[in-house]
Structure 1
Amino acid sequence: MSEHSASRPHQRLTRQDLRTLVLASLGGALEFYDFIIFVFFAAAISHLFFPPGMPDWLQQIQTFGIFAAGYLARPLGGLIMAHFGDKLGRKRMFTFSIFLMAVPTLLIGLTPTYETLGYAAPILLLLFRMMQGAAIGGEGPGAWVFVSEHVPPHRVGLAVGMLTGGLTGGIMLGSLMATAINTAFTPAEVSAWAWRIAFLVGGVFGFLAMYLRRFLHETPVFEEMRRRAGLTRDLPIKQVLRGHGRGVVVSMLVTWMLTAAIVVVILMTPTLLQKLHGFTAAETLRGNLAATFALTVSAMLVGALLDRFGSVKVGVTGSVALIAATYGLYTGVATRPDLLVPLYAVAGATIGVIAVVPYVMIHSFPAPIRFSGVSFSYNMAYAIFGGLTPLLVSGLVAVDRLGPAHYVAAVALIGLVTLVANARAMPGLSAVPAGAENAAR
């Protein structure tokens, strides 16, 4: 048990706590912007970084393959940073992850195209994208662990909710940047050079976030473990796999729910609605912005509810709401296309239930191996399920127009059952007395 946790069971958030949450959330938003901005300019990149005689469909496939490589690099990067985060300190890795993101983002914006470098251009693009993936693999888990260990035990939900809102806010920043560039410049200018602005600005964002993190302090939980020589002497990941199998499985299954909600409803739905119901890109972009904004706000509200009601009650209620809102979106726009924005915003608000995921993971692993446990579970689940989701949903759409909603509903039910079935075996999943919470920490 940490002295920090034991001494602050019911204390309110201090000014220092709030400062830490705000800086961490802002940094998370800026870093996630760097990771996601690639997808908004995939069309321009595909024409510039591959041979001009290559068919458009093959250029696009290879470009999205490079985008996907960032996801494949997440587990390795997350595992390495988590190892040193459990050994050397949370803050060091928390700062390093944003440096590892800022550098390749800036370099993508400066890299010459195929016309200048030949096949070296897409190879460099792949290398930089994998560096981004390694960085984001350490950022999410590291940020959740960092903020959860800075606040009193009964404010962990609010902390991870704010951080989750910051991460999803990065998607909104990317969407706004893409909208601004496509509005200010002609399509020809965007394809020729203006797309680089998004990456150059992203690199600057990254270095700004790294500077801001200089003002953060190491977590009291880690400092206490170091003072008492309580740091793990073994490989952290070895202890995770050997003694916390249930925590890994539960964490991966609830992360699957997160990937379904984000990948399907936020990332894929704009394109799906254009194909299924003939919406224009501008119309779906407005809806997507409304949904992402609602998600950012609701994630913070869900975090506060977690501290009061625990993950089981909040997770069950939120999962049911997510299922209903996703079906409402896909059935509603078919008959009332004028309601796209409000229906999409409601669906986005229900995705705030994903704040349950870091809350569950934080309570699934003890402090000495927490970073490694959270990182392994989250990144492995995202690599597997995040990669399979687009393929599965694309196949379902070919059979049923409600296929995306069916998929989200099925995965949300899996997350719901996981929470309920493991509530007794893992007391930290539900609202618990301060003493039990402290013991878990």
Structure 2
Amino acid sequence: MQKAFKNTIYASLGGILEFYDFVLFVFFASVFAKIFFPQNDDFWPLINTYIAFGAGYLARPFGAIIMAHFADTKGRKKVFYISMLLMVVPSFILAILPTYESIGLFATFTLFIIRITQGLAIGAEVSGAWIFVSEFVSKKRVGLALGFISATLTLGLLLGNLATLAVYEYFTKEEVEKFAWRIPFIIGGFFGIFSLFLRTKLNETPQFKTLKAKNSILNFPLKDALKTHKLSMFVCALQTIVLTSGVATLMILPQYFESLLEVSKTTALYYQNLAIVMIILGSLLQGYLADLLGHLKICVFFTFLFGFFGILFSFYNEQFLMFYLFACFTQGIIAFAPIFMTQIFKTSLRSSGLSFAYNISYAILGFLTPFAINFLYKDFMHIYVVFIVLSSLLSIVLIKKFFY
């Protein structure tokens, strides 16, 4: 029990760092556009910054395929350490990277390399954490453990938000562009080094040890997964739709709060941080209840609650904040993505099959979701909410019929 707890805590740290960097890169995108790109005009530097950010997401599936293969053939622990290393080193380089004014296009090129390297690492980091933890804890605690992992990922968003607010609170705009933007990245870099040190203390999972002892390791696990686990991969895609809904409600929708609700930027950020706290609490509670009362029952119950409150907040009336926060709390159903995904693949190909299906789906959905929300948020947000509910319920039907 103590070993499982320790490994769960250590495994969660990489996800926190990923989402922390995610928020920082988005919030400081306008700064990066000014200091890392040639200033031909006001438009293209910012667009190029977002292209650099998106390059990391495009690299995710490649990282997933390569690193997940070695996780299935060489061991979860080794790959888990390497993925963390490939996140920490680029993060630290970004924190001290000279500007375009100092080193010219080499700064621009390095920024792209940093994002691509991080993307390769992230491709294996999150799904690797899910698998690592699920293979350590007992079946009776898998819901709570993976609910905790989901909560800590979201905690990274909160920490990134708070770090950004602190920088803009204590420094002027000129100071932020000159040096202050580096402070939260430097803090993240040191946090990453500490996390990397803790990863050296991880143990190999019992399930992989058993697999190795029985000489049951596959030569090409992804090839076998594509042949035998097509339905499992489809379920992963459905659950990834649910998972990306958290990004939609926590990160994309709040960008429109100022105009939608006629509130200040500070108030909008306050709403956003409250929403992040609610989804953290929702993930933990739903993971705990899933172990206690049954995964499918709890997922169905909170899926319908999310649909109910999601539709209500889409009216943007006087009760918006209450409905929005309740929707985010019930959106703790994101915790069921790792719970279901880790249970529907054989141990011998779990990392390859899950990582491939999840990261391909996430790369596509991560690209499309901002456009969808931009089109729907004002008058048709309820359509998106219904789409999430149907995706969740369909995945439950498939899991119940074929795997439980």
TM-score by length of 2: 0.95
1:10 corresponds in structure 2 to none
The equivalences for 1:305-344 within 5 A come to: 305-331=289-315, 333-336=316-319, 340=321, 342-344=322-324
- Larger displacement relative to structure 2 (237-246 or 42-51): 42-51
> Is the aligned partner of 1:192 residue 2:178?
yes
Structure 1: distance between partners of 2:107 and 2:131: 37
Structure 2: distance between partners of 1:245 and 1:309: 29
Q: Percent identity?
A: 37
1:37 corresponds in structure 2 to 24
> Is the aligned partner of 1:273 residue 2:250?
no
- One-letter code aligned to 1:238: K
Q: Give 1:244's match in structure 2, choosing from 229, 233, 246.
A: 229
CA contact (8 A) 1:288 1:344 kept: no
Shift of 1:270: 1.2
1:374 corresponds in structure 2 to 354
2:129 corresponds in structure 1 to 143
Q: Give 1:116's match in structure 2, choosing from 102, 105, 112.
A: 102
1:256 corresponds in structure 2 to 241
Structure 2: distance between partners of 1:356 and 1:271: 27
Moved over 6 A (4+): none
The equivalences for 1:79-228 within 5 A come to: 79-228=65-214
CA contact (8 A) 1:85 1:93 kept: yes
CA contact (8 A) 1:325 1:346 kept: yes
Shift of 1:364: 1.1
- Larger displacement relative to structure 2 (414-423 or 135-144): 414-423
3-state DSSP of counterpart to 1:73? helix
Q: CA RMSD in A?
A: 1.7
2:371 corresponds in structure 1 to 391
Structure 1: distance between partners of 2:108 and 2:205: 40
The equivalences for 1:291-440 within 5 A come to: 291-331=275-315, 333-336=316-319, 340=321, 342-397=322-377, 401-427=378-404
- One-letter code aligned to 2:165: T
> Deviations along 1:223-264, whole A, 9 cap, x unmatched?
1111121211x21110110111010011111111111x2221
Shift of 1:312: 2.5
- One-letter code aligned to 2:7: T
CA contact (8 A) 2:39 2:45 kept: no
Shift of 1:354: 0.6
Structure 2: distance between partners of 1:304 and 1:407: 27
CA contact (8 A) 2:67 2:124 kept: yes
CA contact (8 A) 1:31 1:98 kept: no
CA contact (8 A) 1:35 1:132 kept: no
| Gap change, CA 1:31 and 1:392, over 3 Å in 2 | closer
CA contact (8 A) 1:98 1:139 kept: yes
Structure 2: distance between partners of 1:278 and 1:247: 44
Structure 2: distance between partners of 1:408 and 1:327: 7
- Count of paired positions: 404
Shift of 1:343: 4.0
Q: Give 2:7's match in structure 1, choosing from 16, 20, 23.
A: 20
CA contact (8 A) 1:149 1:219 kept: yes
- One-letter code aligned to 1:335: E
- One-letter code aligned to 2:230: G
CA contact (8 A) 2:235 2:398 kept: no
Shift of 1:106: 0.9
CA contact (8 A) 2:14 2:125 kept: no
| Gap change, CA 1:335 and 1:41, over 3 Å in 2 | same
